[in-house]
Structure 1
Amino acid sequence: MEINATKYPRVIVLILSYNGKSLLDESISTYLANDYPNFEVAVIDNGSTDGTKEYVEKNYPGVTLLRTDVNLKYSGGFNFGLSYAFEKQRADYVLITNNDVKAGSKVLSSLVATAEKDNNIGFVTGKVYFYENPETIQSVGYYEDPVKWIGGHRGDRVKDTGQFEEELELPYSDDIFMLVRKQVYDAVGGYNTIFAFQGEQLDWQVRAKQEGFRVFYSPRAMIWHKDSITIGKSSPFKVFYDVRNTLLLRLLHKDQAYFRVYVRWHFKNMVFRPLLRSLTHLRFKYAFKIIHGYLSFLSWGFRNKKLTLKHFI
């Protein structure tokens, strides 16, 4: 299906960056080179101290700069940009994207073409390749798992031989790059900032799906991702949010029977075993963040007793 030539929906590309000045050239330039005729690129400078503001203003005068006074973290930073795009500029779509990517020239046209097929398509993603191995797939969406609910990435570390060329509906997707329809924002708002980082897009998609929106995959939209270069693939920071937010996501959105099963799986596989490995290899920072993440979840649950108790009583 071709996009209606008489009206190209307005897209605003939001690139979030915190002290990521060195990464911006490739992401900005490759998005600017897209073949779609009606879009704007906006960089959200999320409280950076590395001269990002001055660099963007000097080198990319045609790019919108949105600057926060402090680091609002991942969810808060993007919410700042979503407010600009949807509330001030009245964009039809926003493309959420990381700063550590190289975009293909047909990303926007492909994502919009898929989204325009059905007004209930709220999110669209595409192929994410590893930057260092440009023919190897990192993700083409998530699959569902009977125990974990959200399984791993479809296509993870598989060479692309044309096996993911079908446009299809997904249960959920990552937000390394993710097109979002304005009506999703109107219905459920943006990211829930209690997640801050990790699981934030899953919570958003769950809430949107409850309102009838769908998640889709568009195979001709392609980016190459440097894979957690901003925070580190297995940094203590990421470990904390992995432990905390996987529990929090399921507490908020799954029923008692499921949660009781999952919490046992989680403690065994995401707390006890990793903690033992970390202590065995003297990785005390990781061990501390595992414990910290688990205690942070318990603390949140204690402060929100009414919600928490229904899963255990």
Structure 2
Amino acid sequence: MILISVITVNFHQPNVSIELLKSINLHPAKANIEIILVDNGSKENNEAYFKDYCPELIYIRSEQNLGFAGGNNLGIRKAKGDYLFLINNDTEITNGLLDQLAQTLAENPHIGIISPKINYFDDKSMIQYAGFTPMNYYTCRNSCVGQFETDNKQYDDLVQPTGYIHGAAMMIRKEALDKAGPMAENFFLYYEETDWCDKIRKAGYQVWVNTNALIYHKESISVGKNSALKEFFMNRNRILFIRRNAKIHQRMFFYFYFMLFVAPRNIIKYLMTGTPHFIPVLFRAIWWNVTNKTNSAYLGFTLK
């Protein structure tokens, strides 16, 4: 029987992570599973606390905040599964989710990574993700299929290629991971899974979605829905993604597009929404890309 490694990263949200562990226990998989929790940036050892709710848990503590990619990569290095399911701690699974995704991978060896359909936790009838459209490398824009739509089952039974998986819930084949390598840790937060999909495709695998598997996402609990941290990394990593993955003519077009359209638009938005303190954050995000290489480990933002 196959083994699925379920990996989640906790960042100062033990109660949120406990709710995820409870949902995994509430909806057991038919496959063998191991559960790995990375306690990211933890000031103390919380192993006993988490194991009260999940005795078989594999607990990994990192005193340093390694970010989304770094935290997950720490769990990946410990995982023994044939398939690795990386799941945000601010999610709750539904019945059959793990088995459906694993079965799709087992039946389709060309699939490297796959995501389920994701609905919002606060309004379970509202879709967050049913796939992504392909990336426009000239503008670094694409669309999330179904987002904010009422779930009337209009996207049910979609088991097919998609532009990108969703970082909140993604199952990767171990063979694809070995060939493509782990997520790039210099993204730290946002765009790392998008970059990973491009690496997985270059390794010869496809990226799919299975909307018959469903998960609920509480979203933006870690950084907040409107924060300087999120604003910095969304802008910084949008540029970084293009630097790492676009062709030279696409990169040149994007740089002009970002400076002449995106940056002025964002500044106007900050002024109109009462967040003018985001303006220097935007310029720090741009400057980081001017002064750092695409594989630089330096974050360029004070993390608290």
| TM-score, scaled to structure 2 | 0.90
1:1-313 equivalence runs, <5 A: 8-32=1-25, 33-49=27-43, 52-85=46-79, 89=80, 91-146=81-136, 147-165=138-156, 166-301=158-293
Q: CA deviation at 1:54?
A: 3.8
User: Is 29-38 or 210-219 further displaced after alignment?
Assistant: 29-38
Task: Summarize deviations over 1:235-264 as a string: whole Å, max 9, x none.
Answer: 111111111111111111111221122222
Contact map agreement 1:21 1:50 (CA 8 A) in 2: no
In structure 1, C-alpha distance between the alignment counterparts of 2:54 and 2:3, rounded to whole Å: 20
Code of the residue aligned with 2:7 in structure 1: it is L
Code of the residue aligned with 2:43 in structure 1: it is T
Structure 2 CA distance for partners of 1:208 and 1:37, relative to 1, 3 Å: closer
In structure 1, C-alpha distance between the alignment counterparts of 2:248 and 2:290, rounded to whole Å: 16
| TM-score, scaled to structure 1 | 0.88
Code of the residue aligned with 1:298 in structure 2: it is V
Contact map agreement 1:18 1:45 (CA 8 A) in 2: yes
Code of the residue aligned with 2:119 in structure 1: it is Y
Contact map agreement 1:243 1:270 (CA 8 A) in 2: no
In structure 2, C-alpha distance between the alignment counterparts of 1:148 and 1:302, rounded to whole Å: 18
Partner secondary structure for residue 127 of structure 2: strand
Code of the residue aligned with 1:58 in structure 2: it is D
Code of the residue aligned with 1:178 in structure 2: it is M
In structure 2, C-alpha distance between the alignment counterparts of 1:99 and 1:175, rounded to whole Å: 11
Structure 2 CA distance for partners of 1:276 and 1:100, relative to 1, 3 Å: same
| Cα RMSD for the two superposed structures | 2.0
Structure 2 CA distance for partners of 1:159 and 1:271, relative to 1, 3 Å: same
User: Is 158-167 or 97-106 further displaced after alignment?
Assistant: 158-167
How many residue pairs align between the two structures? 293
Code of the residue aligned with 2:124 in structure 1: it is P
In structure 2, C-alpha distance between the alignment counterparts of 1:29 and 1:15, rounded to whole Å: 13
User: Is 269-278 or 46-55 further displaced after alignment?
Assistant: 46-55
Unaligned runs of 5+ in 2: 297-304
Task: Summarize deviations over 1:81-133 as a string: whole Å, max 9, x none.
Answer: 00000xxx3x1011001000110111101101111122221101011001111
Task: Summarize deviations over 1:33-70 as a string: whole Å, max 9, x none.
Answer: 23323111111111223764342133322222111131
Task: Summarize deviations over 1:109-158 as a string: whole Å, max 9, x none.
Answer: 11011111222211010110011110110011211254435412111101
Task: Summarize deviations over 1:225-244 as a string: whole Å, max 9, x none.
Answer: 01111111221111111111
Structure 2 CA distance for partners of 1:250 and 1:169, relative to 1, 3 Å: same
Contact map agreement 1:138 1:155 (CA 8 A) in 2: yes
Q: CA deviation at 1:280?
A: 4.8
Unaligned runs of 5+ in 1: 1-7, 305-313
In structure 1, C-alpha distance between the alignment counterparts of 2:48 and 2:279, rounded to whole Å: 39
Structure 2 CA distance for partners of 1:221 and 1:61, relative to 1, 3 Å: same
Partner secondary structure for residue 157 of structure 1: coil
